[in-house]
Amino acid sequence: MTPDCNDRTTPRRQVLRAGGATLASILAGCNGLPPLGTQFKYGSIDVPQAEPPSYREWFPAPSALPDASDASDGYSAIVHVPPPTNAPTWARSSAARRAVVSNMDYVGVDIDDMDITFLQLYGTGMTAILVGDIDPAAVRDTVRETAYERVDTHAGYDLYERGDRPWTVALGPEAIVFGDGPHARAVVTATVDAGRGDVPRYHERDANVATLTESAGQRRWGRLWLRGIQSITGGGMLEDTVGWAGWLEHDGEDVYTVETWLFPEEYDVSEQAVKEALKNDYPTMSLPSRRHASAVDVTVEGRVATITLAIKRSYVNETLAQKTSQLPAVAWRATHDPDAEQVTIHHDAGDSVPTDALRVIGDLDPSTIDIGHLGGRMEPGESFTVSTAAPETDDDAGIGVRIIIHSDSGWSATVYKHEFE
């Protein structure tokens, strides 16, 4: 779902437009790509049928968003559908789940109990949406323990904002919508309105988005580039796409990836051209790469190409099965005392966090972190302090404080940012 970890050619502006900090939270887990000339075994693959794209009901058309949100030329999305309880453990540890958790606060709702969750990534911020049955009482009780304060209502949703960072959350009976960035409240309310059908939805105003989402459907987890994947391809056939979607699907012990490439109306696309393009080195967005496929199925219908991979059982058992670490969902908070030259990190609500997975960086001295009193895990209501008298490096100066979670599965995620005043 993100560019190849070894690719350093993507311009900074393109990375920012692709979602900025969120991309950093899901860069972990990138896989190697097949060398040029790799031969694939082509054949028909019986992949489970995709579900209808329910996520797009929450995608406001760019015209419904504030002009300053930098979404006029579209945005991208990351989707995670929580798997059933009998799914393999690794299926609940996806990069998409990690991306959503990195950009939300725990407010009394377990992400794994939701019907569907997803991120929308704009030029100046993002939204995280959790759709499912919401227990209003549990949410209200939890929010009272966090940095959020109720500021307004909108279309039956209670709006809360934080004083320590530019976040807004809308809490309603069927969804929770988090917004980050300078236009968070306007983007959050537009997303709520899209979910209610009160403003135009993206696919209702853009034929390419309608075709892409209808063709790709909805699977276990994946990413959609609603304007094509041009910004990170480095050339080739994908440079010409006007929409791209990549999904991971699993059915029992069988694992598949399904990509949808959408081309312009006048584009001459053929199965042979797609097969030639598959030999080239380009991002696979954290999906298992093609060298892990036991078979590849390419179909073309009109301007839509669909590429399905059946993933080798050996890769599932030896690689995916080892990736079982989940990112804890937490409502973090930091309080800065400039006179005492220290910052206190608070765990207000949510999952317990292994202390050996915690890292704190920024305008502070990490050697002064005192977490001995926490034992092996940090629980809700606990805190620790760090000195800000001597920042670790000049590179970290001026960024305030960042909380990062590391895992034994090889990924890391920034879960909290606070700028010092």
- In this structure, the answer to whether residues 294 and 351 fall within a common structural domain is no
- In this structure, the answer to whether residues 362 and 225 fall within a common structural domain is no
**Mean pLDDT confidence for 239-254:** 90
| 3 state SS of 259 | strand
Distance of CA 15 to the CA centre of its chain: 14
Token pair for residue 395? 């590179």
- In this structure, the answer to whether residues 210 and 300 fall within a common structural domain is yes
Question: Which residue, 302, 324, 346, sits at the end of a domain?
Answer: 324
Is residue 5 scored above 90 in pLDDT?
Answer: no
- Total structural domains within the chain: 2
Count of CB atoms situated within 10 Å of the CB of 354: 15
Token pair for residue 263? 């081309």
With contact defined as beta carbons under 8 Å apart, do 60 and 191 qualify? yes
- In this structure, the answer to whether residues 157 and 260 fall within a common structural domain is yes
pLDDT in the model for residue 173: 92
Is residue 28 scored above 70 in pLDDT?
Answer: no
Q: What is the 8-class DSSP label of residue 8?
A: -
Q: Which residues have a Cβ under 8 Å from the Cβ of 54 and sit 6 or more positions away?
A: 115, 116, 131, 218
Burial of 178 (0-12, 13-18, 19+ CB in 10 A): buried
Percent of the chain at pLDDT > 70 equals: 85
Is residue 375 scored above 60 in pLDDT?
Answer: yes
- In this structure, the answer to whether residues 378 and 314 fall within a common structural domain is no
Closest CA to 29 of 396, 319, 350: 319
Is residue 1 scored above 50 in pLDDT?
Answer: no
Is residue 362 scored above 60 in pLDDT?
Answer: yes
Q: What is the spatial distance between Cα 229 and Cα 226, in angstroms, rounded to a whole number?
A: 8
- In this structure, the answer to whether residues 116 and 171 fall within a common structural domain is yes
Closest CA to 34 of 281, 317, 274, 233: 281
- In this structure, the answer to whether residues 207 and 319 fall within a common structural domain is yes
Question: Which residue, 289, 324, 359, sits at the end of a domain?
Answer: 324
- In this structure, the answer to whether residues 261 and 402 fall within a common structural domain is no
Express each pLDDT in 57-101 by its tens digit.
Answer: 999 999 998 876 667 667 899 999 999 988 888 888 888 999 999
pLDDT in the model for residue 35: 36
Count how many Cα atoms sit within 13 Å of the Cα of residue 324 in the half-sphere of its side chain: 7
- In this structure, the answer to whether residues 309 and 258 fall within a common structural domain is yes
pLDDT in the model for residue 392: 57
Query: Which amino acid would we find at residue 410?
Result: G
- In this structure, the answer to whether residues 12 and 133 fall within a common structural domain is yes
- In this structure, the answer to whether residues 133 and 41 fall within a common structural domain is yes
Domain containing 361 equals: 330-418
Q: Which residues have a Cβ under 8 Å from the Cβ of 108 and sit 6 or more positions away?
A: 135, 138, 139, 140, 141, 142, 143, 349
Q: Is the pTM of this model over 0.75?
A: yes
Is residue 17 scored above 80 in pLDDT?
Answer: no
- In this structure, the answer to whether residues 370 and 308 fall within a common structural domain is no
Question: Which residue, 273, 304, 324, sits at the end of a domain?
Answer: 324
Express each pLDDT in 320-356 by its tens digit.
Answer: 888 778 999 999 999 999 999 999 999 999 999 999 9
